[in-house]
Structure formats: C-alpha cells, structure tokens
Amino acid sequence: MTQRRISRRKILRSGLVVLSIILVAAITLLFIDHWDKRQGGLPWQDLGDTTEQTVRYNGQWYVLKDNIDTVLVMGLDKFEADVQTDSYNNDRQADFLALLIIDRDEDKATAIHLNRDAMAKMNVLGIDGDVVDTTTAQLALAHTYGSGGKDSCENTADAVSNFLYEVPVEHYISLTMDAVATLNDLVGGVTVTVLDDFSGVDDTLVKGQEVTLKGQQALTYVRNRKGIDDETNAHRMLRQQQYMKELFAVVTEKVDSDEGFLKDAAREISDYMVSDCTVSQLERIASFVSKHDISEIKNIEGKSEVGEKFMEFYPDEDKLQAMIIDLFFKPKK
C-alpha cells in the first residue's frame, strides 16, 4: 500500500471522529437590514505596536486566545460522491454548518451550531477563482462560489469568519449528504424518540415512538422540514442535535468494541469528504476530541421571519458578541 493511501486513511479516520460529534445543522436566516449593525461589529482595535488581535468589550480589553483550534464542518446538499466541478459556480449549498472550537488552555471542546441561512458577507469568485466582488447572502450559498471543492470550502470558511466578527476559522471538513445515511448504517442505526409528525413524508417515523433510524430514514429525520407538523428550522435543529448526541454514543461504543470499525468507516465515507487538514492536524484534533466530551453545543439566539423569498434569521447581537468573547478571547493583562 502506498504512503499516499496510508495518509489518506489516517486523515479519514481522524475526520470521522470529529464528524460523529458535530454532525448537526443549523437552518434559518438573518435579515439583510440588520447587516448594517453587524458591519460595525465588535470594536476591534490594535493597541500600540502589538500584533495581537484585541477588542474592547464592556470596558475591558480582551486578546484573542492563541491556543485554540477551529474546524468548520459542512454537510453539502447534493447527493453525489464527486463534489468538484470544472465551473467557477456550482449548486452545492452547505446545508449543515457547525464550528468546532478546541480550547487547549481551558481543556474543553465546544461546538457552535451555525445558521445555514444566516446572512453574511462573502466573496464572489470569478472564472479563475479570484475574488471579483463581495455580496451579502445566506451562509449556505458561499459554497456555491467556486468549483465545489476546496475553493468553495475556503469561501464558506471566510464567510463564517465574517459572520462571527472575523474570528479565525482555520480548517474545514465537508461531506455530501450521502455520508449521513452511510455513517448511520455503519453503526447499525441510531435510535431516537421521534420529535415530530412525519405523516405523509415517512409513515415509519411516528411522533413519540422510539425508532432505530436506517439509511434514507436517518437522512429524512435530520434534513426534512417541509410537510412536517413543525416546519421551523429551530425545530429541525432540535432533531439534528438529538441525532448527533445519539450518533456519538453509538460511534464511541463501536470504536471501543470493534478495532476495524474506523478503517471500514473511513473507506466508506472517503469519496464524500473534502478537507484541508493534514494528517497531523486531524490526528491532533481527533485525539483531543476523543478524550473530551463536547462541553456544550451553542445555538445563536435570535428571531426568524419571512423575507422576500425565504425565511430569514436575525441574531441577538448582544448575545452573539458575548458568545464570541467567551469562546475566543481572554482578558488582556
């Protein structure tokens, strides 16, 4: 076996551990007219000649933490193993967005459940992949600029950084939606108590009953909202977080009991995955995550309303700023 194949397998094994923990999606929009307020954002400033990124918040100076890792996980809404095209535009939206934050100083890992439809400033890529303009659109659409491969992932990571007041988004892992059903079946199914009425969508999913999700059924449970009794994105997010928790428990059990599980899983999901992480980076992240529980899955509070064409979500700016300070900054000494 070539070294290239060995390295690829190591990457995928490590990536699977991260994926199993933060396979959640956030869906709902931000209103564009609130973007003007966001443009000011946090009062970023530099102090003297220092190169540290600092911010003054509630009368206190803070400095960006220097011992954290961030990984953006994206679930793409196209059911195709080959996610890359030859075009500078593609139609693969990032339906699932979650940011994993590993804080080594505080010895904890946190995930932010991001709004798939959050309005964010993003780059528009031209035919050569160069930035030709900027626009404000749903976070999910940042991936549609570019080939659908690494350039689209990088564009999405930049948009997420803009949305979170320019905090660093260092790495990314993207998977097509096929990976959900595949990973679900690799662990033998994931058991949940059905939270919504899926009558007419999937009659095997009966509200209030305990069901072990299989294949397409799992994807329906975490992805669908049209035709459900509660069609809000907020409720879909509850299902996704519920599923993630149960999936992680089953994956952990499989890893402990089956030495060949990660190898088999890596092989099965390899065609669905794009990442910029090196072997050592993913192994470092996966090693940390495997030894720590996710301390919390953060949801961005706000309100959802109907826009001109789609649902739009407005964040609570004060609470979002407080979250960013808490997760990414420490008091400046």
Instruction: Render each residue's pLDDT in the chain as its tens digit; 333 residues.
Output: 333 333 444 434 444 444 444 333 222 222 222 223 333 344 444 333 334 678 899 999 999 998 888 999 888 876 554 445 556 677 788 888 889 898 988 888 888 988 888 889 999 988 877 888 999 888 989 999 988 889 999 999 999 999 999 999 999 988 887 778 888 898 899 999 999 999 889 999 999 999 999 988 998 998 888 888 877 777 787 888 888 888 878 877 887 788 777 667 767 777 777 888 766 676 677 667 767 666 567 889 887 777 777 777 778 889 999 999 999 999 998
pTM across the whole model: 0.72
Q: What is the pLDDT of residue 86?
A: 53
Strand-pair partners of 274: 174
Q: What is the pLDDT of residue 280?
A: 66
Q: What is the pLDDT of residue 325?
A: 95
75 neighbors 23 (Cβ within 8 angstroms): yes
Q: What is the pLDDT of residue 252?
A: 75
Q: Which two tokens stand for residue 217?
A: 């059924």
| CA distances for 34 relative to 38, 42, 111, 139, 316, angstroms | 7, 14, 25, 15, 10
Alpha helices in the chain (DSSP H): 3-22, 35-40, 150-163, 178-186, 216-223, 233-257, 261-269, 279-291, 317-328
Phi/psi of residue 135, nearest 5 degrees:
-150, 165
Q: Report the C-alpha gap between 248 and 182 in whole angstroms.
A: 15
